Amino acid sequence: MPAKKTTILVADDELKLLRLVTRNLELDGYATLAATDGQEALALVETHDPELLVLDVMMPKMDGFTVTQRVREFSSVPIIIMTARGDDQDKIRGLDLGADDYLTKPFSVDELLARVRAVLRRSQLSSHSGPGLGPAITIGDLRVDLAQHQAWLHDEDINLTPVEYRLLAYLAQNAGRVLTQDQVLEYVWGPDYAGETHMLQVNINRVRRKIEPDPAHPRYILTKVGIGYLLSTRP
């Protein structure tokens, strides 16, 4: 019996690009779902439960930012946003709302497939192999269980995306040790993401909002200016 194909939902109101992206994903062995507006994309997510979403930012009825925000209310499925703008603001906004990665139009087929593989690989690592099995790491009211791939604060489950969990678990494994930005980027996202500091900063802020009593004055995840981050052992 053939293995079930990974299903990717692609949403874009530019039909030529939509056909190009879905066709190349299918040639690479994926199953695809296609939507031409945000409302249709959200409905397909709810009914078909795809393994990855590739969402254009500018769509009719509901834009990609709103779809991302709505999906994050009930799912941690990986999301790649597509934007025609080259500035960082759209990237940061999408990441801040819960997207895992981005593509800036125009992009090549090779770049598309590389980003898709990287995001799926990170999701599978967080779900199955994780950063390493071992006992739970407890720091103050925060507990990270590397075997169960879960984290708790005050004994309540923290709702983390795969990237957020992988980031927190890596910091927890190195609690008390300063990790450079490039060390974290390479471990969590991969060697192709060196220098993507905004990607790291946005995800650090997302995790802080979920674990810090006062995210503006963090006690757990501390910034070492010009170097990187550490998880404090004395929150």
Confidence at 1, pLDDT banded by 50, 70, 90:
low
First-to-last C-alpha distance (Å) of the chain: 52
**Average confidence (pLDDT) over 77-98:** 87
Residues 11 and 79 in one domain: yes
Sign of CA dihedral 58, 41, 127, 156: positive
Residues 184 and 209 in one domain: yes
Predicted local confidence at residue 135, as pLDDT:
75
Per DSSP bridges, beta strands 101-104 and 137-139 are unpaired
Concatenating the DSSP letter of every residue in 7-40 gives EEEEE-S-HHHHHHHHHHHHHTT-EEEEESSHHH
Residues 109 and 154 in one domain: no
**Average confidence (pLDDT) over 54-77:** 93
Kindly report the pTM of this predicted structure. 0.82
What's the number of domains the chain is made of? 2
Residues 74 and 12 in one domain: yes
Predicted local confidence at residue 30, as pLDDT:
97
Residue 184 in any domain: the answer is yes
Q: Is 115 helix (H, G, I), strand (E, B) or coil?
A: helix
Confidence at 129, pLDDT banded by 50, 70, 90:
very low
**What distance lies between CA 175 and its chain's CA centroid?**
22
φ/ψ bin of 154: left (φ > 0), alpha (ψ from -120 to 50), beta (otherwise): left
Residues 119 and 11 in one domain: yes
Q: How far apart are CA 55 and CA 229, in angstroms?
A: 31
pLDDT digits (tens, 9 = 90+) for 165-211: 999 999 999 999 999 999 999 999 988 888 888 899 999 999 999 99
Predicted local confidence at residue 222, as pLDDT:
97
Predicted local confidence at residue 130, as pLDDT:
44
User: In this model, does residue 127 exceed pLDDT 60?
Assistant: no
Predicted local confidence at residue 133, as pLDDT:
53
Predicted local confidence at residue 3, as pLDDT:
73
Residues 141 and 172 in one domain: yes
pLDDT digits (tens, 9 = 90+) for 21-45: 999 999 999 999 999 999 999 999 9
Predicted local confidence at residue 131, as pLDDT:
45
Residues 124 and 196 in one domain: no
User: Residue 221 half-sphere exposure, CB side, CA atoms within 13 Å?
Assistant: 28
- Per the structure, the complete domain to which residue 57 belongs is given by 7-128
Q: What are phi and psi of 144, to 5 degrees?
A: -120, 115
Among 15-19, 134-138, 193-197, the minimum mean pLDDT is found in 134-138
Q: Which helix (H) or strand (E) holds 205?
A: helix 197-211
Residue 116 in any domain: the answer is yes
CA angle 49, 118, 158 (to 5 degrees): 60
CATH of the domain at 151: 1.10.10.10
- What are the structure tokens assigned to 162, written together? 């795969």
Confidence at 112, pLDDT banded by 50, 70, 90:
very high
Strands (E), 43-161: 52-56, 79-83, 101-104, 137-139, 142-145, 150-153, 156-157
Instruction: Work out the percent of the chain whose per-residue pLDDT is above 90.
Output: 72
Residue 60 in any domain: the answer is yes
Residues 115 and 23 in one domain: yes
pLDDT digits (tens, 9 = 90+) for 4-15: 899 999 999 999
- Where b means 16+ CB within 10 Å and e means fewer, 76-103 reads bbbbbbbbeeeeeebbbbbbbbbbbbbb
